[in-house]
Amino acid sequence: MPLQTALTKLLGIRVPVVQGGMQWVGVPKLVAAVSNAGGVITALTQPSPAALRQAIRETRAMTDKPFGVNITLLPSINPPDYEGYAKAAVEEGVKIFETAGNNPGPLIKFFKSNGCIVVHKCTTIRHAKSAERLGVDMLSIDGFECAGHPGEDDIGGLILLARAATELKVPYIASGGIADGRGLAGALALGAAGVNMGTRFMCTVESTIHENIKQKIVQSTERDTVHIFRTLRNTARVFKNKVSMEVVAIENRPGGAKFEDIRELVSGQRGRLVYDNGDPDYGIWSAGITLGLINDIPTCKELLNRMEQEAEEIIGRLGTLVTAKAKL
């Protein structure tokens, strides 16, 4: 019996697993491979709304299963054309969107007015409640364990998910710190309708990042990430390498640091080249502490089948822990 949750029913997918939006990683080949669960194209990986249109068409040519588009709104001196990306995706027939970041209200309103399903990712319960009021269909609760931006409150997923179960009205999925069937089963036990994974999907056959980076992920442990931008109140968890440690050192100097002091080190284009040239020390690249749980490079199908089987076995064993109460 397949796992049936609010997530599988809402998105029309088999396994309650979503591949989260990942800059430079969430591209058509990976999204199509994950689409039996729920693949997500990262809009801002594409240089323009027109390029996003092409990416959507490429993905659709490779799968007839559901997939979505992620649009993350982050602080920027020159903000991307968020409205253009959103309009392009809707016009291409995309019906599932993951939003994240600052002030998603206008985007959520636009998507809902076009009959779309919206999953909003947030790192606090107060932000989750705000997104509820904006009319999202589902929430993605992102714990401190995650890659990328975990917020500034430093609250782990175990607490966030337990609070979500008692305080949220719409279904939610767990994001951050999940890479296997045990994590999926645990998230479901905490009340989640499924899970969102990023780092784990980076390390699959269909992921287009350089093989050296996949091998580095396999070789690494949960101690091989570090937070940057802490002093700038825009915390990001990234792989611990020469560049990220230099950034941390600059931030920890007496008097702190301004963004201009680290701009060249944290350049997105420099980080993108890590995935192209295979040098893990070339720039900043995101990774979650699930590094400690990743020991192989399976196909997406193999990974999802394994997770589904593991979760079902664990859930089945948990049922045996409940025994009939002895008569008094």
Residue bearing tokens 């076009």 = 114
Query: Does residue 24 have a pLDDT over 80?
Result: no
For residue 112, being part of any structural domain is answered with: yes
Residue among 166, 169, 174, 167 nearest 192 (CA) = 174
Query: Does residue 327 have a pLDDT over 60?
Result: no
Query: Does residue 29 have a pLDDT over 90?
Result: no
Query: Does residue 280 have a pLDDT over 90?
Result: yes
Sign of CA dihedral 253, 267, 67, 294: negative
Supply the pLDDT for residue 328. Answer: 53
Q: Look up the domain containing 237 and give its range.
A: 225-277
Query: Does residue 25 have a pLDDT over 60?
Result: yes
Task: Give the tokens for residue 193.
Answer: 């309708």
Q: Does residue 268 share a domain with residue 130?
A: no
For residue 304, being part of any structural domain is answered with: yes
Task: Give the integer Cα–Cα distance in Å for 130 and 264.
Answer: 35
Supply the pLDDT for residue 87. Answer: 96
For residue 90, being part of any structural domain is answered with: yes
Work out how many domains the chain is built from and give that number: 2
Q: Does residue 250 share a domain with residue 133?
A: no
- Which helix (H) or strand (E) segment is 314 a member of? helix 300-319
Q: Does residue 144 share a domain with residue 25?
A: yes
Average pLDDT score over residue span 226-238:
95
Supply the pLDDT for residue 101. Answer: 86
Supply the pLDDT for residue 151. Answer: 92
Task: Give the integer Cα–Cα distance in Å for 252 and 231.
Answer: 8
Reduce the DSSP state of residue 290 to 3 states and report it.
helix
Q: Does residue 248 share a domain with residue 109?
A: no
Percent of the chain with pLDDT over 90: 79
Task: Give the integer Cα–Cα distance in Å for 175 and 169.
Answer: 18
Residue among 290, 323, 240, 307 nearest 15 (CA) = 307
Direct distance between the N- and C-terminal alpha carbons of the chain, in angstroms, rounded to an integer: 37
Q: Does residue 132 share a domain with residue 91?
A: yes
Residue bearing tokens 């636009």 = 110
**The CATH number of the domain where 81 resides is what?**
3.20.20.70
Number of residues assigned to the chain: 328
Residue among 185, 126, 125 nearest 159 (CA) = 125
For residue 127, being part of any structural domain is answered with: yes
Q: Where does the pLDDT of residue 119 fall: very low under 50, low under 70, confident under 90, or very high at 90 and above?
A: very high
Supply the pLDDT for residue 33. Answer: 84
Average pLDDT, the chain: 92
Average pLDDT score over residue span 22-41:
81
Q: Does residue 194 share a domain with residue 50?
A: yes
Q: Does residue 184 share a domain with residue 85?
A: yes
For residue 255, being part of any structural domain is answered with: yes
CA 51 remoteness from chain centre: 22
- 175-198 pLDDT per residue, tens: 999 999 999 999 999 999 999 999
Supply the pLDDT for residue 1. Answer: 63
